[in-house]
């Protein structure tokens, strides 16, 4: 395990820096703005990491709906009905709660349904590039419903077929234009 306690006066070498300081727990892979009807992050899942964290900031849709996601093989979005997902929604005002459970369809989503703006999301993606396993997503999102009321979405997705993917695509649930910014990190293995 790459941890070390340095002592007073010890020489910090380049090798020490590369091994013990530069390699944090989460390692930046790529990031970029969301635009158009879909935005892809190609080549972000590799054998370097097994598990990943995806952050979405200031996401908006041009019309009410959900943010949706598909895994990629190169630039080809995978739209088979292997995505099994569901999420629960709660409002900060306590005025309502509901769940969305969707029959397996060609993507997974997170719930800004009914609103268009301020979608943030933090998602852990497990095994997207491991060919011998399904891929698992656990995600938490926040949206602005209006006024000071916010909506929390907690959800999951399992791509229920063993397969290997090297990227992810962002889009709206109804062909909306999207904006925002996404960053993808890898969980350092050791």
Partner 1 sequence: MSKPQITIHYADGTPSETRDMTPEEIAQIPVEEDNA
Q: How far is the CB of 114 from partner 1 (least distance, A)?
A: 10
Minimum gap (Å) between residue 4 Cβ and partner 1: 29
Between CA 89 and CA 104 the distance in angstroms is 19
In the complex, the smallest distance separating the C-beta of residue 175 from partner 1, rounded to whole angstroms, is 4
Residue 50 belongs to what H/E stretch? none
> Cα 154 vs. chain centroid, distance in angstroms?
13
CA distance 13 to 25: 20
Tokens of 23: 């390699």
**Separation CA 20–CA 15 (nearest Å):** 8
Q: Between 110 and 158, name the residue whose CB sits nearer to partner 1.
A: 110
Least Å distance, CB 45 to partner 1, is 9
Task: Return the number of the residue (94 or 183) whose C-beta is nearest partner 1.
Answer: 183
Cβ neighbours of residue 105 under 8 Å, at least 6 residues apart? 81, 83
Of 109, 101, 25, which Cα lies nearest the Cα of 65? 109
List residues near partner 1 by CB under 8 A.
29-44, 46, 65-66, 68, 75, 77, 79, 100, 102, 105-107, 109, 113, 167, 171-175, 184
- Of 40 and 163, which has the nearer Cβ to partner 1? 40
Among residues 16 and 27, whose Cβ is nearest to partner 1?
Answer: 27
């Amino acid at each position: 395990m790459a941890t070390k306690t340095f002592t007073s006066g010890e020489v910090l070498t380049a090798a020490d820096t590369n091994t013990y300081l530069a390699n944090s727990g989460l390692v930046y892979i790529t990031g970029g703005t969301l635009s158009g009807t879909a935005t892809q992050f190609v080549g972000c899942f590799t054998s370097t990491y097994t598990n990943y964290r995806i952050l979405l900031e200031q996401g908006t849709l041009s019309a009410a709906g959900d943010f949706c996601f598909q895994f990629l093989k190169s630039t080809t979005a995978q739209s088979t009905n292997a995505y099994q997902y569901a999420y629960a929604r709660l409002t900060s005002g306590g005025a309502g709660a509901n769940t969305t459970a969707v029959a397996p369809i060609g993507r997974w989503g997170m719930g800004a349904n009914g609103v268009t703006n301020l979608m943030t999301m933090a998602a852990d993606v497990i095994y997207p590039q491991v060919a011998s396993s399904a891929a698992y997503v656990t995600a938490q999102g926040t949206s602005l419903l209006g006024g000071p009321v916010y909506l929390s979405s907690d959800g999951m997705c399992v791509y229920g077929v063993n397969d290997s993917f090297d990227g992810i695509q962002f889009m709206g649930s109804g062909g909306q234009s999207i904006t925002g910014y996404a960053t993808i990190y890898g969980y350092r293995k050791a």
